[in-house]
């Protein structure tokens, strides 16, 4: 009999034996492990530095093994700029929710992208403020109920969902922008590849990369884990189509 080989291992990027604080089925957990796996595959786990936004990602500080700092709400883009410029050998990423990145942090997000800063943005878009109990985010879908839009988001009153990957794709400087998800094993593998590519580009000094992960928030969407997958596929992917928006690295080849 051929010798047995381990084909899937828990990443060293998350603390041994730790159980995440995220809700059942929440893909924040998935994204955390993918960051660890991607950095590990590049042999760069010891260079990894996390600049954390404010939101449910705050639970990640008790879960990951890398060095990290927490920015004031929305300001991760500015803090990461400082970290990366003063410590250029570090592999720096921001981890931000849609409320953090697209609402309170919009100015810092756009400015860092426009300067083409050489760090990686991990943007977790679940269409809602998860941490604070389900208020409307800029990314909340039209008609979607939240605690601040109890009758559903009404564009007349609340405007339309913001597509951050598309908006940042209007800028000249960004190097790589892709939108992925984690609802199937195939999508998880693709998401890991996207994060790994963004990290690789950073190590090569190529500049600003954004990986948007469209995810669910079963708790504040008020759906069980499996129904939240249906909502993600039927509603979120329609508004936020997955795919590569820009890859200057591929164009150069």
Partner 1 sequence: MARIEINAEACKSCSYCVLACPTKTIEIGKEVNSKGYLYAQQVNPDKCIGCAMCGHICPESAIEVWK
Ligand X SMILES: Cc1ncc(C[n+]2csc(CCOP(=O)(O)OP(=O)(O)O)c2C)c(N)n1
Interface with partner 1 (CB under 8 A): 1, 4-11, 14, 19-20, 22-30, 33, 182, 184-185, 188-189, 225-226, 229
From CA 246, how far away is CA 176, in angstroms rounded?
5
Cβ distance to ligand SF4 smaller for residue 130 or 207: 130
Where does residue 239 fall: left (phi above 0), alpha (psi -120 to 50 degrees), or beta otherwise?
A: alpha
The C-alpha atoms of residue 106 and residue 83 are separated, in whole angstroms, by 19
Binding flag, residue 73, ligand X (CB under 6 A): yes
Of the pair 73, 248, the CB lying nearest ligand X is at 73
Distance, in Å, from the CA atom of 14 to the CA atom of 215, rounded to the nearest integer, reads 20
- Residue 82: which of 54, 113, 112 has the closest Cα? 112
| Angstrom distance (rounded) from CA 148 to CA 97 | 18
DSSP string, 97-162: EHHIIIIITHHHHHHHHHHT-SSEEEEEE-SSBTTTTSB--TTPPBT--BTTBTT-B-HHHH----
Least distance (Å) between residue 128 CB and ligand SF4: 7
| Residues in 22-81 at the binding interface with ligand SF4, rule: CB under 6 A | 22-23, 26, 28, 56
Site string for ligand X, 186-225 (x = CB under 6 A): -------------------------------x--------
| Cβ-based nearer residue to ligand SF4, 45 or 217 | 217
Residues numbered 121 to 160 that lie near ligand X (CB under 6 A) are 124, 126, 128-132, 137
Write the burial class of residue 220 (CB in 10 Å: 0-12 exposed, 13-18 middle, 19+ buried): buried
* The only residue of 37, 52, 98, 178 in contact with ligand X, by rule CB under 6 A: 98
Helical pair 27-41 and 185-203, crossing angle rounded to 10 deg: 50
- Read off the tokens for 198: 């963004």
Residue 212 interacts with Mg ion (CB under 5 A)?
Answer: no
Q: Which is nearer to ligand SF4, 167 or 223 (CB)?
A: 223
**Contact map string, positions 210 to 229, toward ligand SF4, x by CB under 6 A:** -------xxxx---------
Positions that interact with Mg ion (CB under 5 A): 97-98, 126, 130
Contacting residues toward ligand X, per CB under 6 A: 54-57, 73, 97-100, 124, 126, 128-132, 137, 217
- Per CB under 6 A, residues contacting ligand SF4 are 22-23, 26, 28, 56, 126, 130-131, 217-220
């Amino acid at each position: 009999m051929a010798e047995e080989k381990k084909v899937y291992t828990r990443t060293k990027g998350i603390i041994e034996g730790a159980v995440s604080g995220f809700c059942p089925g929440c893909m924040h957990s998935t994204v955390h492990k993918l960051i660890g796996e991607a950095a590990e595959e590049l042999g760069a786990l010891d260079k990894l530095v996390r600049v954390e936004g404010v939101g449910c990602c705050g639970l990640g500080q008790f879960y990951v093994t890398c060095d990290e700092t927490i920015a004031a709400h929305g300001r991760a883009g500015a803090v990461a700029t400082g970290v990366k410029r003063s410590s250029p050998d570090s592999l720096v990423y921001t981890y931000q929710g849609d409320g953090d990145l697209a609402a309170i942090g919009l100015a810092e997000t756009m400015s860092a992208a426009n300067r083409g800063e050489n760090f990686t943005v991990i943007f977790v878009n679940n269409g809602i403020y998860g941490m604070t109990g389900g208020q409307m985010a800029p990314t909340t879908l039209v008609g979607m109920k939240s605690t601040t839009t109890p009758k559903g988001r009404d564009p007349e009153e609340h405007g339309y969902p913001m597509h951050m990957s598309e908006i940042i794709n209007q800028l000249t400087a960004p190097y790589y922008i892709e939108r992925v998800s984690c609802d199937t094993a195939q999508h998880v593998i693709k998401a890991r590849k996207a994060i790994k590519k963004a990290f690789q580009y950073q190590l090569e000094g190529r500049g600003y990369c954004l990986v948007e992960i469209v995810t669910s928030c079963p708790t504040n969407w008020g759906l069980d884990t499996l129904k939240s997958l249906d909502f993600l596929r039927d509603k979120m992917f329609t508004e936020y189509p997955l795919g590569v928006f820009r890859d200057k690295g591929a164009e150069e080849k």
